[in-house]
Amino acid sequence: MFYLPGYLWPQQELLQGSESLRSYMLQFMLVALPQILLLLYILRIRAERDAPVLSTYYSEFGIHRPRAIDLLYGGLIFAGIFALLALLGLILTLLPAAGRELFAAGFRWKLEDPRLIPLVLLFCLVTGYREELFFRSYLITRFRHLQLPVAVGIGLSTLLFAAGHVYQGIAGLAVALIQGLYFSILFVRMHNLHPLAIAHGLYNSAVLIITLFVDYDQLAAL
């Protein structure tokens, strides 16, 4: 209840212009950090009730002590999702003009001031941990606790994740579905939160920083 309303109905109109984007990122982190801490606290009190060793319970959710190798894995996962979505973008260029216009509809993030890049990096890292902790680490594991098949847990968490990107139009929804499925499968295989959160943050940062140089509306018209 604390997490989903603001995620499913974001105030994207705040993102118009550099000052508004700065305000939005700061406001977002003021909400996201308590959400992260609350979820970790929920896991802690459940662990104190259900698990003899706290670290064992956290590891069940893919929460481990950060390691240097997590940065490498995060970079590789980022390269994978970026290549996958670049391929999707290439396929979309083969559509007729009407199809490209349909996919171009929806809200787009826009970074206009390069001085905001340090804040963007911090904002995207917090976003990565917030969303990976909730949608992959928490939901997939809790669905498994409820005896749901792994595929069902992956599907439900991916659909919820994608629902928060509906305001970005068909293209944003498609990207979120692919990204959510990709990260969910990797979480089930790796069972490690940190590389996914790092890759998620790197991807969001790259997309925002690219908008300094590329106008997506112009690309869609090509």
The predicted-structure confidence for 65-120, as pLDDT tens digits, reads as follows 899 999 999 999 999 998 988 888 787 777 777 766 766 666 777 888 899 999 99
How far is 126 from 32, CA to CA, in rounded Å?
7
DSSP summary character for residue 133: I
How far is 187 from 105, CA to CA, in rounded Å?
31
| pLDDT in the model for residue 56 | 72
* Structure tokens that stand for 71 in this block: 């940065």
Residues of the chain with pLDDT under 70: 6, 9-19, 51-55, 99-100, 102-106, 215-222
| pLDDT in the model for residue 44 | 84
How far is 45 from 117, CA to CA, in rounded Å?
37
| pLDDT in the model for residue 222 | 41
| pLDDT in the model for residue 80 | 94
DSSP summary character for residue 194: H
How many other β-carbons are positioned within 10 Å of the β-carbon of residue 42?
11
Torsions phi, psi of 44, nearest 5? -65, -45
Q: Are 199 and 74 in contact (CB under 8 A)?
A: yes
Q: Are 152 and 57 in contact (CB under 8 A)?
A: no
